Structure 1
Amino acid sequence: MKKTLKISLIILGSFLALILIINIGFSLWLKYKLPDYLKNKTPYQITYQSLNVEILSGGISANQIKIKTKQPNNLETIALEGSLGILNISRLGVIELLKNNRIEASSIKLVKPDLRVRLAKPKAGKSGKDPIPFMINNIEIDHGNIGVKRSDETQLFSAKDLNLNVKNLSLNQDPDELPFALDSYNITAKDFFFRLDQIYSITSSDIKTDNGKLEIDDFEMKSLVDFKNWEQSFRSQKSLFGIKSKKLTFDELVFSKTKLSLKNAQIKDPEFVIQNRDNKVVKTSKKKSRFDLNFENFDIINGKLSILKSNGKKTLSIAKFDANIKSFLMNEETSKNKLPFSYQDYKISGNQFFYDAGQYYTVDLSSFDVTSKSIDLKDFNLNPKVSRAEFVRMIPMENDLFDISVNRVQLSGLRWKFENDQPDILLKNARLTNVDANIFRSKIPRDNPKEKLLYSKLLRTIKFPLVVENLDLVQSKLVYEEDKPDSNGPGKVIFTNFNMNVKNLNSNKKKGANTNVPIVINCKFMDASPMKVNWNFDTANMRDNFTIGGYINNLPANDINPFIKPYMNITATGTITSLNFDFKGNNDIMNGKFRITHKDLKVNILDKDTKEKKKFLSAVANLVVKKDSKKFPESVDIYVERNKQRSFFNFYWKGIEDGLKKTLLVVKID
C-alpha cells in the first residue's frame, strides 16, 4: 500500500514538474522571441518603449505602444491603429491571436488607449455574423478613446475618455439572449455609441457609475435605417422604435446572458416614438424568447409618446405623462400567458391624449390617471372627422354618427385577471359626469340588413366575464336626430338633466350569478318636461325579455313636433299633462298599456311629401280629437312587431307612436 502511494506521488510530482517546465519554457519563449514574432509574423507594425514578460505568471506588460495594421485593406484580419500608454495582459493566448485573430486572456488593462479597430470579415460559409473578437474575463481601461467598426466600416462601438472596469465578462451571439454578461462593472465615458443590432444603436453624451448606481445622460436609442428601408428589409417586425431621454438612472443593473434586472430605474424627460407599418407582417417568428426582464421599480418622469402611421401621421400621442410600475417580470413562463408579463402594481397619469380612431373619429382627453384599480379621465371627446353630409356620402348603408363629450369618467374598484386565456373583469363603480352625446342617423343610405341586437343579447356576445356593479350617468344631455329623405330637416329627441343608474351590468359568464339588469332614468324630455323610466332586462334570458315603463309630465305639444312631424306627419299644440307607458317585450314583439292626458290639444295633419298643412283634413281631425282628456279611457293597449334591422330605441319609439295614434286621434291618418 505504501509502495503504491509512493509511486502515485512520484507520478503526480513528475506531471506537475513537467507542466511547470512547459510553462516556464513557454514564458521564456514569450520573453525572448515575442518581439521578433510580433515584428515579423503578425499583421501589425508594433513599436514600444519597453516590453516585459513575467516568466512565472505568464503576464505581459508594455508601455508607449504604437500599433498599425500592415495591410489595412485586408479584411481577413482585425485592423488596429493607434497607441497605448500602458498595456498589461494576464495569460494571453498568443496562438489564438496569431492563428485566428482572436484575443484570449484572463485580464487586460489598457492605460490611455487611443485605438481604432476594424473587425475581420466573417468567414465564408458562416452565418454572416461577425466572430466575437475577444474573450477576456476582466477588462480595465483608463482614460481611453476607442472606436470599433465592422468589416463593412459600420460603427459598432465608440467612446471618449472611457474608464471601465469589468469583472467576469462573457460575450454571446445567441439572438434570444443578451449580447454579454458580467458580474460587476464601473464605467465613465463621453460620447458613447453602441450598435445593438442591424437596426438600432444606443448613444449617450455621458455615462458614469457611482456606488453601483448607473447614470446615463442624453440617452438615445434610434434606428440606423430609415422607415422605408426598414419596412422593406425587416418584414417580420411590426414597429420601428425610437427613444430619447435627458437622463436614465439605475440603482442596480444586473446582466446575465438570459436576464436583465433593474432596481429603482428612472427615465427623465423621455420621448418615445413608434412608427407602425400599414401592411400585414409577412413573416412571424413563433420561437419564444428565453430572455428574462425584471424591473423591481421603474419610473418614467415627464414623458412624451407618439405612435405614427407609415405615412408619418399620428395614430396616438400623449403630450406629457408620468408612470410607475412595480415588480414587472417578463420571462419564458409569463410568455405562455395571454398577458405575457406580470406586475405588482402600476400608475400612469398624463395630459393631452390624442387617438386617431379610424376613418370617422378621433378621441382626445385633457388628462388621465390610471392605476391597477381605477381609471380617471377628464374632458373626454369622441370627435367626428367629417361633416354629416360627408358621412352620409361615405357610408355604404345606414349607420350612426356620434359626437360625444364627457366632462369626467371615473372607474373605481377595478379588478381584472386572465383565466384560461380570457379576461375576467369586475368593476365596482363607473361614473360619467356631464355627458353631451349627439347621435345622428340619415335614412338616405340603404338599410343595413344586419340584425340590431337587443342589449341583453349584445352583452351576452361578450366572450369573457364582465360585471359592472354600479353605473351612473350624471347631469348629462342626449340628443338623437334622424334625417329622412322626405322630411324637412332631421327629427330630433332631446333628453337634458339626464341621470341614469344601472345595476349589475353583466355578460352572463359567471355561473350562478345574478344576471338581472335594472335601469332607472330621470331626465327632462325635450328639455322641458320631467321624465322617469324604469327599464329591466336579464342577460340570461334567451328570448331577451324586457320591461320598460315610466311617465312624462307637463309636456308642451310644440316640443314633440320636431320628432312627430317627420314620422307621423302631424304637428300639435297645447299641453300633454301626462304620458304614461308600461311596456313589456322580447326580441319579436312589444305590448302593454299607454295613457295620455292633455289640455287644449289641437293637431295639424301634413302632406306626406310637401309637409304643408292639409287644412280640410286637419279641421276634420280636430273635430274628433279627444280634447277632453277626462273622457279618455284609463289606457289603451299597444302592440308592435320588432323590425330587427332597427335598434331597441326605434322599437321603443314605435310603441310610443302606436299609443299616440290610438289616444290622440280616433281616425286613421295615412
Structure 2
Amino acid sequence: MKKTLKIPLIILGSFLALVLIINIGFSLWLKYKLPDYLKNKTPYQITYESLTVEILSGSISATQIKIKSKHPDNLESISLNGTLGALNISRLGIIEFLKNNRIEASSVKLSKPNLFIRLSKKNDKPGKEPIPFTIKNIEIDNGNFNIKQSDSSQLFSAKNLNLDVRNLSLNKNPDELPFALDSYTITAKDLFFQLGNVYALTASSIKTNNGKLDVADFEMKSLVDFKDWERNYRSQRSLFGIKSKNLTFEELVFNKTKLSLKNAQILNPEFIIRNRDNKVVKNNKNKSGFYIDFQNVDIINGKLSVMKADGKKSMSIASFNANVKSFLTDSETSKNKVPFTYQDYEISGHRFFYDAGKYYTIDLSSFDLTPQNTDLKNFKLNPKYSRTEFVRMIPMENDLFNISANRIQLSGLKWKYEEDQPDVLLKNVKLTQVDANIFRSKIPKDNPKEKLLYSRLLRNLKFPLLVENLHLINSKLVYEEDKPDSNGPGKILFTNFNMNVKNLNSNKKKGADTKVPILINCKFMDVSPMKVNWNFDTANLRDQFTIAGYINSLPADDINPFIKPYMNVTATGTINSLRFDFRGNNDIMNGQFRITHKDLKVSVLDKDTKEKKKLLSAVANLVVKKDSKKFPESVDIYVERSKDRSFFNFYWKGIEDGLKKSLLVIKI
C-alpha cells in the first residue's frame, strides 16, 4: 500500500474508532448514569425498559416508559403523569442541545402514549426562557392525551389519537397563523381543544382520508358566561356558538399567512350569535397578516339564531342552505368597506324572522339569494303593538304600518364600492300582491319636522342608486286616519293597485337621466277605475312635479267610510268622473280640476251620536250643486304646501280645493 494512501486510512479508521468508543461510552453512561440523573436532576420519576442512543445518527429510542411528577401540586413546573409504549427520536442534534441548549430533531414518534399533563403557572417575572425546539415531523400512534391549564381548566384532550405531521414549523408572529405544515393525517375520538380564552372546539371523532378531513359532532362553544364575557371582553361585539353534525374539508392547507380549503361541507349546523347591548371598545391592534381562501363551501340544512343581550331573538332562520365560491379575505381586502371578495354565492332558506327595531318585526316564509337576484316569499312587516298601545307610545304624530307581500323579486343587481360609497344598480324590482295598511292617529301632537318630497329624499341619498323598473302588481293599499272626536278611523281604499316606476335614481351619476315617470292603475274605494300619471325629476332643486289622472263612476256613498268619521258628513249620488291635472313644487301647487256628478246630496251628522242633523243638512244641500252640467268647465286650483305635511296631504289639498270650487253654489 502506498504511503500517501495509508496515512488517510489510518486517520479515518482512528476517527471511526473514536466515534464508536464515544457512542459505546455514551450508551454505557446513559445506561448506568441516566436513571440517577433523571431521579436527582428532574422533577419527574421516569423509568423505562430499554434505551438506545446512536450519536452518529442522532437517534434515541426507548420502550415502556413511565413518567410521574414528584411534586404534582407544584404549579411552578409542568406536571406529567402517564406511560408511553415507545419513544423514537431521529436525527436529534445532541451537540446543538449540549452547546446551545436547543432541541432540534428531524422526527419524533410516540407509540401508545397515555399522558396527563398539567401546564405550569404563567410567570410574568423575567427569568429563564423555555428551551426552544424545532421538530419537523411528529407521529403519534394510538395516543390518549389530557392537557390542563395550571388552574385545572381543560386545554386539550383526545382519545385514540393517531397523528402524522410533516414539515411542521412554528411561528411567533401574533398577526399570523401560529404554525405551518406541508401535510398531515389524523384520527381521534372525543376531541377537545381550547381556542383562546373564550372558545373551545369539540368533536366526537376526526379523521383524514386521502387529504379529506372529516369531523363528526363538531361544536364551538363559549367557555365563559355571557355576563362575564360582556364585562371582560369589551372589544368583542358578539359571542358565537356553532354546532354541526358533520364537517368535511378537502385540501386543507396551513402556512404562516394562509388558511386555504376546497370543497368544504357543513351538515346540519346551528349557528348561535349573542350580541352585547353596550358599545364595543375599539382597540388599536393591527389587522391580521394572514388570509383565508375558501374555494367552495356548502352549508346544508343550517339554522341561525341571533340573540340580544337579554336573550330575546333579534334574527333567526329555521333552515337554510348556502354555497359560496372563491371566498377570500386578506390584507388587501381588509382595507375595503366590504373586507372580502367572492366569485358567486347561492343562499336559500325558510322561516326567516327579524326584529326590525322598536315597533316592528319582519317575517319571510322563504327566500332565495344570489349576487344578481333576490326572491322573497310571504313577506310581512308586523307591528309589535296594537294601535292603542302605539298611539300611547309615540311622542308625536307617526304612521303605523302593517304590510305583507306575496312575493318580492329583485333582479339584475349590480353593486360595488367606489370612494368608500356604495354604487347600486337594479334592473327590476317586482312586488306582487302587496297588502299595505297605514294608520295615523291625530291624537298625538303634530310632528313639526319638514316632510321632504320624494325627489329630494332620493337626492339626499349619499350614494349612486338606480332602479330601472319598479313594478307593484295586483296590490291593496289602505289609509286610515283617526281623530280625537271621531268614532273610529276614516278609511281610503285602493285595490287592484298596479304601479310602474321607471328610472328611480338618486341623481349621483353625471350625465344620466334623472326624470322619474310613475304610472298607476287601480280601483278607488274598490269600485271606481282610477288612473294617475305622476312625474318628478331628482335633479330639480325646486322639486317640481306633475300629477294628473281621473276617477270614473264613483258612487258617493262609497266615500262615506272616510268622510263620515273624519268630517261628520255622508253623501249620496254619483260622481261620474273626476279629472285633475296639477303642477307643483316644494312651495305651491296649481292646475285644473273638473268633476261631473248627479243627484249629489249630503247629510250633516251629530259629532257624538252620528245621527243626521236635518236643519244643517238642508242648509248644506242648498249650497251644494246637486247636478253638474253635461260638460262642466274646469276650475283652477291653487294651494300652498304645509312643509310639515306629506306629499299626499299636499295632493289632497288640491283635490279639496277643486271640490269646493266645483260643488259649492256660493264661495265659502
- Which AA in structure 2 matches 1:32? W
- 1:525-555 deviation per Cα after TM superposition (whole angstroms, max 9, x unaligned): 0011000000000000000000001000000
SS of residue paired to 2:75: coil
Partner of 1:288: 287
- Which AA in structure 2 matches 1:119? L
- Which AA in structure 2 matches 1:78? I
Partner of 1:481: 480
Q: Matched residues in 2 for 1:244 and 1:96: separation? A: 46
Partner of 1:55: 55
Q: Matched residues in 2 for 1:118 and 1:328: separation? A: 39
- Which AA in structure 2 matches 1:122? K
Cα pair 1:304 1:321 within 8 Å, conserved: yes
Residue 446 to residue 35, structure 1, CA distance change in 2 (3 Å): same
Give the C-alpha shift of residue 284 in structure 1: 3.2
TM alignment of 1:301-340, pairs within 5 A: 301-340=300-339
- Which AA in structure 2 matches 1:546? F
Cα pair 1:307 1:315 within 8 Å, conserved: yes
- Which AA in structure 2 matches 1:299? D
Partner of 1:109: 109
Q: Matched residues in 1 for 2:113 and 2:616: separation? A: 105
SS of residue paired to 2:629: helix
SS of residue paired to 1:630: coil
Partner of 2:439: 440
Q: Matched residues in 1 for 2:306 and 2:663: separation? A: 58
Cα pair 1:58 1:92 within 8 Å, conserved: yes
Partner of 2:4: none
Q: Matched residues in 2 for 1:459 and 1:346: separation? A: 30
TM alignment of 1:194-209, pairs within 5 A: 194-209=193-208
- 1:614-658 deviation per Cα after TM superposition (whole angstroms, max 9, x unaligned): 422321332343223116641111111111111111111111111
Partner of 2:416: 417
Residue 80 to residue 30, structure 1, CA distance change in 2 (3 Å): farther
Partner of 2:425: 426
- Which AA in structure 1 matches 2:574? T
Cα pair 2:464 2:505 within 8 Å, conserved: yes
Give the C-alpha shift of residue 25 in structure 1: 4.8
Q: Matched residues in 2 for 1:611 and 1:552: separation? A: 28
Residue 466 to residue 664, structure 1, CA distance change in 2 (3 Å): same
Q: Matched residues in 1 for 2:99 and 2:220: separation? A: 37
Partner of 2:3: none
Give the C-alpha shift of residue 154 in structure 1: 1.8
Cα pair 2:603 2:612 within 8 Å, conserved: yes
Residue 96 to residue 183, structure 1, CA distance change in 2 (3 Å): same
Give the C-alpha shift of residue 258 in structure 1: 1.9
- Which AA in structure 1 matches 2:106? S
- Which AA in structure 1 matches 2:379? F
Partner of 1:223: 222
Partner of 2:579: 580
Cα pair 2:375 2:410 within 8 Å, conserved: yes
Residue 609 to residue 362, structure 1, CA distance change in 2 (3 Å): same
Q: Matched residues in 2 for 1:101 and 1:389: separation? A: 80
SS of residue paired to 1:453: coil
Cα pair 1:247 1:269 within 8 Å, conserved: yes
- 1:62-102 deviation per Cα after TM superposition (whole angstroms, max 9, x unaligned): 11111111121222222211001111012446799899998
Is 1:450 the equivalent of 2:445? Answer: no
Partner of 1:5: none
Residue 168 to residue 460, structure 1, CA distance change in 2 (3 Å): same
Give the C-alpha shift of residue 606 in structure 1: 4.2
Give the C-alpha shift of residue 103 in structure 1: 5.9
Is 1:125 the equivalent of 2:125? Answer: yes
Q: Matched residues in 1 for 2:387 and 2:209: separation? A: 62
Partner of 1:43: 43
- 1:366-403 deviation per Cα after TM superposition (whole angstroms, max 9, x unaligned): 00000000000000000001000000000011100000
Cα pair 2:58 2:93 within 8 Å, conserved: no
Partner of 1:29: 26
Cα pair 2:101 2:131 within 8 Å, conserved: no
Give the C-alpha shift of residue 38 in structure 1: 2.4
TM alignment of 1:257-656, pairs within 5 A: 257-606=256-605, 612-630=611-629, 633-656=632-655
Give the C-alpha shift of residue 31 in structure 1: 5.5
Residue 132 to residue 172, structure 1, CA distance change in 2 (3 Å): farther
Residue 30 to residue 158, structure 1, CA distance change in 2 (3 Å): farther
Partner of 2:77: 77
Q: Matched residues in 1 for 2:468 and 2:372: separation? A: 15
Cα pair 1:181 1:255 within 8 Å, conserved: yes
Partner of 1:3: none
Q: Matched residues in 1 for 2:325 and 2:442: separation? A: 53
- 1:339-358 deviation per Cα after TM superposition (whole angstroms, max 9, x unaligned): 00001011100000000111
Q: Select between 105-114 and 383-392 the one with higher mean Cα deviation.
A: 105-114
- 1:154-194 deviation per Cα after TM superposition (whole angstroms, max 9, x unaligned): 22111100000001222345443223221110000000111
- Which AA in structure 2 matches 1:157? F
- Which AA in structure 1 matches 2:120? A
Cα pair 1:31 1:52 within 8 Å, conserved: no
Residue 483 to residue 26, structure 1, CA distance change in 2 (3 Å): farther
SS of residue paired to 2:413: strand
Gap runs ≥5 in structure 1: 1-9
Q: Matched residues in 1 for 2:595 and 2:259: separation? A: 73
Partner of 2:247: 248
Q: Matched residues in 1 for 2:523 and 2:20: separation? A: 99
- 1:1-26 deviation per Cα after TM superposition (whole angstroms, max 9, x unaligned): xxxxxxxxx9xxx99x9999799858
Size of the alignment, in residue pairs? 656
Identity rate, percent = 75
Partner of 1:6: none
Cα pair 2:103 2:131 within 8 Å, conserved: no
Give the C-alpha shift of residue 137 in structure 1: 1.7
Q: Matched residues in 2 for 1:22 and 1:598: separation? A: 123
SS of residue paired to 1:512: coil
- Which AA in structure 2 matches 1:121? K
Q: Matched residues in 2 for 1:336 and 1:199: separation? A: 27
Cα pair 2:48 2:63 within 8 Å, conserved: yes
Partner of 2:149: 150
Cα pair 2:529 2:552 within 8 Å, conserved: yes
Cα pair 1:31 1:55 within 8 Å, conserved: no
- Which AA in structure 1 matches 2:528? S
